[in-house]
Amino acid sequence: MSKKNTGDDIWKNNVEKIVKLFTLTYGSVVSQLCRDFQNNYYEVNQQLDKMGYNIGLRLIEEFLAKTGIKRCQSFKETADIITKLGFKIFLNIQPTIENWSNDGKSCSLIIPEPNPLTEFVELPITSDSKIGKELWYSQILCGVLRGALQMVQLDCDVNFIKDVLRGDDRTEMRLKLNKILKDEVPAGED
C-alpha cells in the first residue's frame, strides 16, 4: 500500500476535475473584494479570513468523517496531520513544517509551489503598489485552519508572513496555538 493512499484517493474522487474552476473562482472572489473595498487590502484580508473561518468550521467534519483521525496528543502531531493529511485531501499539496518555537506551540508551514490558489495570479504591478505590501492573497487558508482547529477545541492564530506572489522566496504561514479549549472538549473521550 502506498503511503499517501487516503489523501490521494479522496482527492482523486472529488476534487481534481474542478480544481481549475476553483482557482479561477477564488481569484474572482479576491479581485472582487479588492474592488468592493476600494483597495483597502487590510479589509480584504479580513474578509478572506472570515470566509475561510466559516469554511473551516464546516470542513473539519468532512476531514474527521473521511479520515477517522483521533484527538492529537501534541500540537506537533496536529501540525503533522494538518500538512500530511488535511492539505493533501483538500488541496493535494503537502506543506513542510519548519521553525518550531521552543515551547512547541508555533511553527511555520511552507506552502509548496505551485500554490493551487495562485496558479494564474500575478499581483498588478504599476497601478497600485500597495497591493504587494498589504494583500495576503491566500489569506483564506489561514481562516480555514483557524476555523477547523477551533472545532477540535484548539484556539490558534494563523497568518501569512511570506508569499511568493509578493516576491518572497517562499510562501510561509505561521501557526500558533494559543490554548486548548479544555472546557469544550466533549465528554467521554478519555
Task: Tell me the backbone φ, ψ of residue 185, rounded to 5 degrees.
Answer: -65, 125
Q: Residue 97 interacts with other proteins (CB under 8 A)?
A: no
Among 103, 169, 183, 190, binds other proteins (CB under 8 A): 190
Yes or no: say if 117 and 26 are a contact pair by the CB < 8 Å rule: yes
Percent helix, strand and coil across the chain, each rounded to 5? 55, 15, 30
Q: Any contact of residue 168 with other proteins (CB under 8 A)?
A: no
Of the residues 120, 129, 157, 168, which one makes contact with other proteins according to CB under 8 A: 120
| Contact between 71 and other proteins per CB under 8 A | yes
Which segment (45-53, 70-78, 99-107, 170-178) binds other proteins by CB under 8 A? 70-78
In whole angstroms, the minimum distance from the beta carbon of 85 to other proteins comes to 6
179 lies in the binding site for other proteins (CB under 8 A): no
> Residue 80 or residue 134: which is nearer to other proteins going by CB?
80
Task: Count CA atoms closer than 13 A to 18's CA, side-chain side.
Answer: 8
Residues 52, 145: Cα–Cα separation, whole Å: 8
Residue 84 identity (one-letter amino acid): K
Q: Are 156 and 173 in contact (CB under 8 A)?
A: no
List the interface residues with other proteins, window 122-141 (CB under 8 A). 122-126
Q: Shortest CA distance to 175 belongs to which of 150, 113, 55, 68?
A: 150
CB of 106 to other proteins, least distance (A): 21
Q: How far apart are CA 57 and CA 151, in angstroms?
A: 6
At residue 103, φ and ψ (nearest 5 deg) are -80, 0
| Interaction mask 3-22, other proteins, x per CB under 8 A | xxxxxxx-------------
- Contact pick of 11, 22, 43, 57 for other proteins (by CB under 8 A): 57
- Is position 61 an interface residue for other proteins (rule: CB under 8 A)? yes
Residues that bind other proteins (CB under 8 A): 1-9, 24, 26-28, 30-31, 34, 57-62, 64-73, 77, 80-81, 84-85, 119-126, 151-152, 184-190
